[in-house]
Amino acid sequence: MNPPAHPLQQIAPDVKLGQGVRIYAFTNLYGCEIGDDTRIGTFVEIQKGARIGRRCKISSHTFVCEGVTIEDEVFIGHNVTFINDRFPRATNAGGQLQTEADWACEKTVVRRGASIGSGATLLGGITVGECALVGAGSVVTRDVPPHAVVAGNPARVLKRIPLQPGRRAGEAALPEPASAPSNP
């Protein structure tokens, strides 16, 4: 059973909501899927085709675009921006406004238990690994390995952490596997 809709939410009839989903005011959701017990903060927009798992927290002012899949138990901070078009253009070669036919959506996946810090921007076509943590304000241009902490612009690996979903960081660094790249 979901709480009654807030009068200042816009949730399109095609949105698939799980049980116990909590959505705050001034949100705009259409054509997307939200899993059980997930929370969606104020001023969040979630576009068609985006999928959000169970027990996630999506903080205020975040934009989740088409092509984004967020698995279970993921934390998304405030004002996080996902991107699905690396070379955006307003118009096509004929000078008309672009339509769906004029571009290809680049898909992004945030794996289970990961956290994305506030103000981060994630370019399209990226996978953020399980339980990884993206620092505040980062610009993520490449895949993030599981359990890695990345930060900066472009985001680089600071360390690896033995985080599990639902656990806070004990933050003892894991030894680097011999074959692991030093950057994502």
14/171 with CB nearer ligand COA: 171
Q: Quick one: which of 31, 125, 137, 165 contacts ligand COA (CB under 6 A)? A: 137
Our finding on whether 42 is near ligand COA (CB under 6 A) is no
Q: Quick one: which of 133, 140, 144, 157 contacts ligand COA (CB under 6 A)? A: 133
- Tell me the one-letter amino acid at 46: I
Our finding on whether 151 is near ligand COA (CB under 6 A) is yes
Q: How far is the CB of 18 from ligand COA (least distance, A)?
A: 24
Our finding on whether 41 is near ligand COA (CB under 6 A) is no
Q: How far is the CB of 142 from ligand COA (least distance, A)?
A: 16
Contact positions with ligand COA (CB under 6 A) in 45-104? 77
Contacts of 158 (CB under 8 A, 6+ apart): 135, 148, 149, 150, 151
DSSP string, 96-161: SBP-GGG--PPPEEE-TT-EE-TT-EE-SS-EEPTT-EEPTT-EE-S-B-TTEEEETTTTEEEEE-
